[in-house]
Structure 1
Amino acid sequence: MKKIKFLLILLAFILVCINVFAAASHPFNVSVSGKGKQAIVFIPGFTCSGDVWNETTIQLSRNYKCYTLTMPGFAGQKAQDEPSLKGWVKDIIEFIKTEKIEKPIVIGHSMGGVLALMLASDHPDKIAKIVVVDALPCLSAVFNPAFKSVETPDCSKLIETYTQMDNAKFAVAQAAGVKRLVADTSKYQLITQWGIQTDRKTYGKMYCDLTNTDLRAQLSSIKCPALILLEAPFKQFDSVMRAQYAQLASAQIEYSSKALHFIMYDDKDWYMTQLTTFIK
């Protein structure tokens, strides 16, 4: 009897170690909910927690297994020494392989949308569908049509700007920026807090990385269906938006009639209808 008890304790210890190792093997936080044959991977945007998808996953977890990520350094998560978009793509695809997730649907908001595009173009055989929520393959080209990305951008000055910024000034800047991103005033404090809790080095490095990214040419590698949901103000620049996605043959571009950047908060019914119709 004592021997059996000892073996059970040993087995429990081993299982705990395996779980800790599995959790530690991925640099991002993962929350799992729901069940179903089809899996969905949710990637939040710049500085955001995976909690940005809470209302979405409550509905979709009835029929799908949902994996919600919070990227390292964002919203209080432990930071990486050298974060990058390309590195995060490798981390996410490794997670998909490790967890044996068969051809998930990937839904990304903002920077998460850029990561969804990168995943689908770099690994076209691993992704079933993508949904891009208010993101563009080359944001900088909207403001500068002559923009060209560089192989190794110097992010040191931008990182220094944010790491040396006074805490109070940084908090004020976060609060001011949020007002241009979401119309739902009840979300101001939540989104602001995620920004304040974000690691400053990660903030500077990933902002630099994002503004140097140009995926327009490589969109032709994407073979899966793609739904692009864009905020209302972008509608007046429809030709520019469609030019951004010109190389993505499967792109279905839809505009909200009232939402700002956080479409999932500002136009909930329209957003959920678009989402559920597409993923079915």
Structure 2
Amino acid sequence: MIRTAASAFALLLAATAPALAVPTAALAQSPAAHGHQHADFESGRFHVRVEGEASAPGRDLILIPGLSSHPDVFNGLISRLEPGWRIHAVHVAGFSGAPAEANAEGPVAAPVAAELARYIAEQGLQKPVVIGHSMGGTIGMMLAARHPDSVGKLMVVDMIPFMGPMFGGPTATPESVAPIADQVRAGMLAAPVEAYNAQLVGTINGMINTESERAGPLDQALRSDRTVSANAYRELIVTDLRPELPNITAPVEVLYVAFNAPGMGAEVTDGIYRASFQTLPSAQLTRIDDSAHFIMLDQPEVFAAEVNAFLD
């Protein structure tokens, strides 16, 4: 992989990167405070917004946004879903104004995945469909690989199982890129506020082609806890899920976009995704053209059509 192009993609991921049949009694009764209902589930890792009604057991959908993102990025998808699905939108602690709580120190993605498995079990969910964008895709892969009986289907949106080669070349290992990941984390934490925020603006502009859709994700990133975001990004760089992918038993579809950097393009991106998911040959890889990282914002109709077909 071309180092400069790969690093550009990694930089894009850095800044926002940021159920089944839950009974009504299981929902926290606080819609007036938040404008929606929260699942009755105590965790320092995330809270869950629940919308809609499942028309049958198993017709529940868990949505996991990316690094420094809010579940509102899926609002356009939710409005376009075929009827009969109950939505469980995950808001990770520390992102987009949510208190950091248990995510204030250490890894974020792996603990969130573990807690999602507990959420599914305690809420009595029957093989929910899981869709994760960016870091949410990493969390989804962790959940499906480490708790395969918990997931009915998995869609990964613009994320690969190991980001290490973007920083350390094709022979990278978690150990070899750890010093680089430490430097990236330290740089994120040490940057002056003005410089950090300016970088977020540039990053969001690169991650969303549609100018009118940038304000929301930018606000979400600006309101995210910087330490949580930096710790989570470090974790993403050193996490290699490729050896765990064969543990996934659920059908998997991966939506992705072509890398937009010198020396990269559709064919190169296709090859990178094929190589990245070669330990899960059953995964369906689908490239979405004319879009940047936030496919749900740049290509909302196409994205919703892909999701509805996947849910069918």
Correspondence list, 1:173-188, <5 A: 173-188=199-214
Q: Which runs of 4+ in 1 moved over 6 A?
A: none
TM (norm. structure 2) is 0.78
Q: CA 1:278–1:185 in structure 2 vs 1: closer, same or farther (change >3 Å)?
A: same
Residues 26 and 95 of structure 1 are in contact (CA less than 8 Å); yes or no, is this contact kept in structure 2? no
Alignment of 1:169 onto 2:195: yes
Deviations 1:141-174 (A, max 9, x none): 2451011013995766544433343222221110
Deviations 1:3-59 (A, max 9, x none): xxxxxxxxxxxx979x99945435312111111131110000011001111111123
Alignment of 1:222 onto 2:248: yes
Match of 2:125 in 1: 101
Deviations 1:65-95 (A, max 9, x none): 1000111111111112324222111111111
- How far apart in 2 are the matches of 1:270 and 1:232? 15
Q: CA 1:62–1:26 in structure 2 vs 1: closer, same or farther (change >3 Å)?
A: farther
Correspondence list, 1:62-211, <5 A: 62-79=83-100, 80-82=103-105, 83-142=107-166, 144-150=169-175, 153=178, 158-211=184-237
Residues 140 and 147 of structure 1 are in contact (CA less than 8 Å); yes or no, is this contact kept in structure 2? yes
Residues 170 and 196 of structure 1 are in contact (CA less than 8 Å); yes or no, is this contact kept in structure 2? no
Structure 1: state its 5+ residue gaps: 1-14
Residues 142 and 240 of structure 1 are in contact (CA less than 8 Å); yes or no, is this contact kept in structure 2? no
Aligned residues between the structures = 265
Match of 2:286 among 236, 254, 259: 254
Alignment of 1:278 onto 2:310: yes
Match of 2:257 in 1: 231
Residues 177 and 237 of structure 2 are in contact (CA less than 8 Å); yes or no, is this contact kept in structure 1? no
The DSSP-based 3-state class of the residue aligned with 2:142 is helix
- How far apart in 1 are the matches of 2:96 and 2:122? 25
For 1:177, give the aligned amino acid: T
Alignment of 1:268 onto 2:300: yes
- How far apart in 2 are the matches of 1:226 and 1:259? 21
Residues 246 and 279 of structure 2 are in contact (CA less than 8 Å); yes or no, is this contact kept in structure 1? yes
Match of 1:8 in 2: none
Match of 2:277 in 1: 245
CA RMSD of aligned residues (A): 2.4
Q: Could you tell me how far 1:267 is from its partner in structure 2?
A: 1.4
- How far apart in 1 are the matches of 2:299 and 2:267? 18
- How far apart in 2 are the matches of 1:152 and 1:187? 33
Residues 164 and 174 of structure 2 are in contact (CA less than 8 Å); yes or no, is this contact kept in structure 1? no
Q: Which has the higher contact order (CA 8 A, sep 6+)?
A: 2
TM (norm. structure 1) is 0.87
